[in-house]
Copies of this chain bind each other. A is one copy, B any other.
Amino acid sequence: MTQEIISYETLRPLLNPKAIAVLGASENKYKIGHLQIQALIDGNFQGEIIPIHPSASEIAGLKSYPSLAAVPGDIDLVIFCVSFNQIKSGLIACAEKNVKSAIIFASGFSETGVEGQKLQQELAQYAKEHGIRIVGPNCVGLVNTSNGLIGTFSPAILTVPMDGKKGVGYVSQSGAFGVLTYMAAAQQGVSFNYFVSTGNEMDASFEDFIEYMVHDDETSIISGYLEGTKKPEKLKVLAKQALNKKKPILLMKTGRSDAGSRAAASHTGALAGSDIIYDAFFKQNGIVRVEDFEDIIAFSKLFNAEKLPTGKNTVIITSSGGRGINEADRCESYGLNIVELSEETKVEIRKTLPSYASVSNPIDLTAAASVTNPEFYLEPLKALVNDPDVDNIIFTDFPFNWDENTPMLQEFVAVAKASNKVIGLFPFPLDGLTFPKATDTLVANDIAVISGTLNPVRALSKLVQYSLYVKENEQVSDVASDYGAAPIEDLLQPGSTLSESEASEVLDRYGIPTTKRAIAKEAEEAVEMAKTIGFPVVLKIDSPHIPHKTEADAIRLNVSSEEDVRKAFEEVMSNAKNYNPTAKLNGVSVQEMLPNGVEIIVGAHNDETFGPVIMAGLGGVFVEVFKDIAFKVAPLTRKDAIDLLEELQGKAILDGARGKAPVDKEAIIDVLLKVSNLMNDNKETIKELDINPLIVYENGIKAADAMIVVQEKVAEIQVVGG
C-alpha cells in the first residue's frame, strides 16, 4: 500500500525550464522537429531554445548543436521529436548530460501490446534511476502560458490566445480531446495557464500534475479529463489539500457507459459499475465531476474564491417572458431553486417597475427594458442584493449600449461588487450578437458573462455544489476509530465462499448484531436448539456451496413446533442434497425467527481501482427492481455513512413512511462503519460481502443472513494505488 513519495518539485523543470533542447530538430518546415521549435519561438518562450541536429549549424535562426553532450550549458528539458526507436538512445544521452526532464510524443509503447509495454517499463526504470521526469510517451505534450512554453507540436494550440489570466490548469488523459478543450476555452476567453497531455504516463502521472498545481500559486482552478486513476489514494489526499486552499478540482471522467456489471456472487458485485464508484469517490472527496468540456470553461468564468454561492436560491431577470421561463426550467433541471421572492422584496422591486412588468421570479422587465428603459435592469438588483434568501442572480440579457462611461452601469457594477451574491449574465448564444458593449467591464468586476452555448446554468449548479464541499470540509468527520474487533483470519479460507454461519461469525467478531443460531447435524439436535432459542425458528441449510438457499428450497421460516422442526430439518437436508449432490453440508442452521422490520441490504466489495467499497440499499424488491442503492469508498467517515442512507431514493421509509415509526438509523450507521472497518482491515482477503437482509427496528438491528467471498489467492491481490 505504500506509494512512492517523489516531490512534485521534480516536475518544475518540465513546466518551468530555463533551457530546452529539441532532439530531432529539423530544417524541414513540415516536420515536427521544426514545428516544435517554431512553436517555442512563436510562443515567446522565456528561456533558451537549443536545436539538436547532427549537421545543421542553425535551425529556425537558432544555433544548433550536434548532440546533447555538445551543448555547453545546462539543459532542463529535452523535447523528443524523434520516433519510437530513437527514444532509448535519447534517454541515455539525457542521463549523461544530467537533463532533468523530457517530453516524449512518440507512440508505439504500452498502447500497442506486451512488447511495447515491456520497453516502456524498461525506459521508465532507466529514467527513474537517473532522475529524469517524463511526460508521455504517446502524448501531445504540455503548455505553460506564463513562460511561453509551448511544448507541443500541435499547431492548433498557437491559433488561440496565450494569456492564462485566471490560472486554470488543465491535465488530460486524451491528447486530442485535451487540445480541443484548450482551444474551445481560449475561443471563449479562458486561456488555461497549464495544459498537460499525460499520454501513457510512463513516469509522471495525471495525479502528479494535479499535485503540482495544488501547490502552484499561479493556479486557482485545477481541471482535467480523466479516463481512469491509478492513484486514488494520492488523489484523495490532493483533493483534501485543494479544498483547504479553496482551489476547486474539476474532473471530466468519461466512460460512464462502461457499465459492464461483472459476474459476481454478491448483489454488491453485480450492482457496482466502475462509473458509479468514481461518482461516489468524487463526492466523498469534494472533487467536482463535470459533465463535459463546457463546464470547465463556464465554471472557470463563474468562479471567485472570495464569493462562493451561499446556496442554490436563484433569481432570473429577463426582458423576455419566454427566455425567463426557459432559464427557470434549466435551473430547476440542474437542481437550482427558483426561489419565491418575499413580499418585502417584491414590494421594493415593484416601486421601480411599471405595472405590466412581472416582479415574481423570473422577473420579467418586458421588452421596454431593452428598447426604452435600461434603468429597469438596475433597480431590481438593488432590492435583490438585500434579500438574504437570494443566493444567485442571473440576467438573461442586458442593456446593449451601456459602456464604462454610463453612470447606470457604474452604479450597477458598484451594487454588484458590494454584494455577496453570485451575479452573472447568460446571454442567448448568437455568435457574439447578444454580448453587450459592457461585457469587458462586467467581467472585470466579477460579473461573469457566459454564452448559453457553455451551459452556464449547469456550471452554476456545479459551483453551488463546490461551495457545499468547501463548507463540509470545514466540519470534521473522521473515519471511525477502532471498534475492538476480534481477529477473523481463522475463518477466511482462501478462495472460499463462507457458509452463512461462518459469515455470521465474522460479523459477530466485528460487533455486528446477528441472529441467535446453532448448527444441527441431526433432527433431534435441531429440536433441542429450537427449544433453547425459543419458537418460532428458522431452519436453513449451512453450506459454503449453496449461497442461494431459497433457490435450493433449503430454508424454512416460522417453524413453530418440535414436530415441524423435525420435518423442516429433513426437507432442508434432502432438498440441499438434491440441489447440489457434491456440496459440503455443515448441517442445518437453526435460528431465531426475527420479527418484521425494515429490510436493508449492506454490501461491500473490493474494487479494482478503489479497494473496499461499501453499498447500502433498501432490501427485497427495492434493490432488485428499483436498484435503489448507494455506494461509498471505504474507509467511511460518519458523514459518509449518513450520506449513504440520505442518497437512497426510498430514504423516507427509514423515517417512517405511511404512519410507521422511524427506524433506528443510528444502528444502521453503526453497522456501516463496522463493515467499513471489517473490509478495510481485510482488504487483502475479503473480496465480497453481503448482509441481506439486515433487519432494522424502531430500536436495534440484526443481520438475518450474510455471505462472504474470500480472495482466491492472497499473493494475487490487487494493491490499491501501488
Contact = CB atoms under 8 A, between A and B. Distances in A.
A111 B356 contact: yes
A704 interface: no
A329 interface: yes
A323 B657 contact: no
A358 to B, nearest CB: 10
A624 interface: yes
Interface in A413-464: 428-431, 433-434, 453
A257 interface: yes
B657 A624 contact: yes
A355 B159 CA distance: 33
Given A176-B323, A177-B322, A322-B173, A428 B254 contact: no
A322 B227 contact: yes
Interface stretch (A500-508, A648-656, A712-720): A648-656
A625 interface: yes
B177 A356 contact: no
A430 B620 CA distance: 50
B184 A430 contact: yes
A321 interface: yes
B428 A184 contact: yes
A406 interface: no
Interface string A599-622: 000000000000000000000110
Given A257-B329, A428-B184, A621-B658, A356 B176 contact: no
B178 A658 contact: no
Q: How large is the interface on A (under 10, 10 to 19, 20 to 34, 35 or more residues)?
A: 35 or more
A292 interface: yes
Copy tally for this chain in the complex stands at 2
A221 interface: no
A227 B187 CA distance: 35
B659 A338 contact: no
A173 to B, nearest CB: 7
Interface centre among A173, A431, A620 (most CB of B within 10 A): A431
A430 B621 contact: no
A352 interface: no
A626 interface: yes
A218 interface: no
A281 interface: no
B658 A322 contact: no
A172 B174 CA distance: 42
A19 interface: no
A453 B626 CA distance: 34
Contacts of A325: 174, 227, 254-255
Interface of A: 107, 111-112, 156, 159, 172-178, 180, 183-184, 187, 225, 227, 254-257, 292, 319-323, 325-326, 328-329, 331-333, 338, 355-356, 367, 428-431, 433-434, 453, 550, 620-621, 624-626, 628, 649-650, 652-653, 657-659
18 contacts: A112-B355, A159-B433, A172-B322, A174-B321, A176-B321, A176-B367, A178-B322, A180-B428, A183-B430, A225-B322, A227-B325, A254-B325, A256-B333, A257-B328, A624-B652, A624-B658, A625-B650, A625-B653
